[in-house]
Structure 1
């Protein structure tokens, strides 16, 4: 075989192993590394914004599409990139003999990770081991220095805000998702101001319930150490951050948007047992979340709370009279 690209059965640590293997050899990590350093960070510490801008306009520029103005990644572009990434595991280059039509017809799309045409700024073929860019690492490392460098880069190249992890492990995760998890309201504001997509879906394996990581099954208990839903507003609800939730609502976030499992923001607060957040968003002053939406297995937030044994939040629902018949 060896000529088909799509989701493969890999060991749970394969993405981590691939990323760590590339840290020493992939030049993309020279800009920001996992130890808190890198050229951009050291430049900021020694020369401030001017030094960072110099690197961004010279050394970094060849890594960006159209001098930082972005480009469209098609489904075919993505398939070819995924084939190249898989070739690193197997050493096979058989896929290069396939026509574009064959690659498209043979591609096996993952149930969760739906590949769509999308815009990007950092060149897909010059990414890290899991399809990330140094820009993502700036928010993942979450220090004032890293955030400051992120702001400098965004001012130069706003379309960096559109970039997402392209590898299947963290597929669709944007810097906005990361900033929400860390509770950084200022970073959220900046990213949205610069164009981050308010409806970007994060569906990678890392973020799935544990019983779904080897493949979709209709029945799930929704338990996962990083299952926060898919949309940024789901992440804000699941992590109980009212300020960020409000900001997302004010900028077009939809609390009733449903993820692959059919779960809304209210379903997510039940799953993550965020009692105060449930009370907050169901009575929200701008856009109260609907309480009667059913997920993919016909569970409303109330019936989901009952099924999962979330007694405290279940009682709050009844006391608030939040069930719409």
Structure 2
């Protein structure tokens, strides 16, 4: 199994209490931790959002994803760099192809393109993008991915689409990676998103119970067969909200610290819901001792998971959970 990790960027109130002037140093330090030669992490990730969640804050930071891509590209030398996932509607696709190609050059060919239709209505409307329907957002995704694919394989893109129109948009320099930047198509929609993934993706990223994850893998396989593509060419990934402790008591103490940290911003009830909704109830929760986390990931591997990406909310304050993963979990799964 392969591993990546998210670098906290503020989106989930995971930089609160750190002076804004010091937040880049905290993020860079975690990137360097993941970049170390002995690290089990192949990649680092950020989210593509503008407003905090679950409640938009007027004062707390959410650092912009593609600016961070360029910064991490210059600050690291080994790990691959991704966003999970870039919202297609936030940037015109030819422009995004240009930005990503430049970041790929800076990084020496280490950029990944996580891409999806987007969902956070509050920031869509606040930034003046409206909020198109789901079919429209997925239509934008399909056309945008085609424009980027053209740009990275031919150096220019032309498309007279329903949502995007470009006419000989030149993207130079080209990405350093042969064939262009790999696409991670995020989302498990069976009729549209997984069809887009079957055609364009090197990786997928979706969640769900064990049964749901296995089912979506079979749907993806069917879409690949329909277009004559080998489904084994596509790596299946999943994001995991992660809290790892040395014992059950340690895990509970870590969850309590996370709740206390966000309580001033979400209120006591909101903070309790934050912990419940992100770390207790979702199928993407990876909470427990090292042995328990190994068992949960082994279950996922049995239904087709190839690549686990960890989001540890305490990482900017305490790396010991990530260190437990690196020393006790990853070696048991690699």
User: TM-score scaled by structure 1?
Assistant: 0.29
Rg bigger for which structure? 1
User: TM-score scaled by structure 2?
Assistant: 0.28
**Bigger RCO of structures 1 and 2 (CA < 8 A, at least 6 apart):** 2
